[in-house]
Structure 1
Amino acid sequence: MPELPFSPNQMFNLKLETLEERIMEYYQETQNGTMTIKLLLTLRVRYQLGAEEFALVLKELVRYLFTRTRATRTMKRFFYYFQDYFDAPEWERLRLRVFPLRNFVEKTKSFVQSLLTKFLLSEVLTT
């Protein structure tokens, strides 16, 4: 089991500035995007529990991880928890980047359904 860079006690008791500094240092030293996303998700939980100052904590780091690094399984798993870090058009582009196969399947399904509908309508109209 990999060693965690912070204890749960630290994640839920340290001040915002201290956590921001330490998480940035951790990412710069390790370049471990997966663990960094998990740490940021923990801070999202802290925000949801009422710590308003954690609303968009480390926004630039989150944006960097999702837009400039390779999408990992962890990023895909927790992707939707970070939606408010991006505006709507940017979010849609990011979703297409993170889930390319899912988007291809959705578009193909929509295209086939429209072809099928046209075919069925032409059959009904000709009989």
Structure 2
Amino acid sequence: MEKQPFSPQMLFNLKLETLEQRITEYYEESQDGATTIQLLLALRVRYQLGAEEFDLVLKDLVHHLFTRTKVSRSMKRFFYYFVDYFEVLEWEKLTLKLFPVRNFIEKAKSIVKSQITKFLPTETAVP
């Protein structure tokens, strides 16, 4: 298991500006999107614990990671925690990018269901 670049004490005690700068520098140096997403998720936890200033922290970096980098397991695993960062249309496009097979299956199911309902007899009331 590789060592994390930030300790829990750093993630939960440093000021917002310091964390933004250090996480951005870390990503620029390492290009490690998976670890960066995990760090950003820790900041989402900090926000959920009551640190209001951490709402949508590093939004540009989150957008960059999800829209301009190769899809990774970490992206898929933590994708739904970042729903607030995207507009509805962007979210739908990202869902298609990250989960193409799942979306294909859901669409196929809906088409099959609609075709089946066409052939089912409608219930009529018996007097």
Residue 60 of structure 2 corresponds to: 60
Residue 72 of structure 2 corresponds to: 72
- Unaligned stretches of 5+ residues in structure 1: none
Residue 39 of structure 1 corresponds to: 39
> What's the CA shift for 1:120?
2.2
CA distance in 1 between counterparts of 2:121 and 2:61 reads: 51
Residue 86 of structure 1 corresponds to: 86
- What do residues 56-87 of structure 1 show as CA deviations (whole Å, max 9, x unaligned)? 10000000000111111111111111011011
Residue 108 of structure 1 corresponds to: 108
Residue 7 of structure 1 corresponds to: 7
- What do residues 71-117 of structure 1 show as CA deviations (whole Å, max 9, x unaligned)? 11111111111011011111111111111111000000111111111
- Unaligned stretches of 5+ residues in structure 2: none
TM-score normalised by structure 2 residue count:
0.93
> What's the CA shift for 1:19?
0.5
> What's the CA shift for 1:9?
0.4
Greater shift, 70-79 or 6-15, is seen at: 70-79
- What do residues 12-68 of structure 1 show as CA deviations (whole Å, max 9, x unaligned)? 000101100110011011100000000000000000000011001000000000011
CA distance in 2 between counterparts of 1:121 and 1:37 reads: 51
Matched length: 124
CA distance in 1 between counterparts of 2:112 and 2:62 reads: 37
TM-score normalised by structure 1 residue count:
0.93
Percent identity reads 67
Is the partner of 1:3 in helix, strand or coil? coil
Residue 49 of structure 1 corresponds to: 49
- Shift >2 Å, 4+ stretches: 119-122
CA distance in 2 between counterparts of 1:121 and 1:10 reads: 64
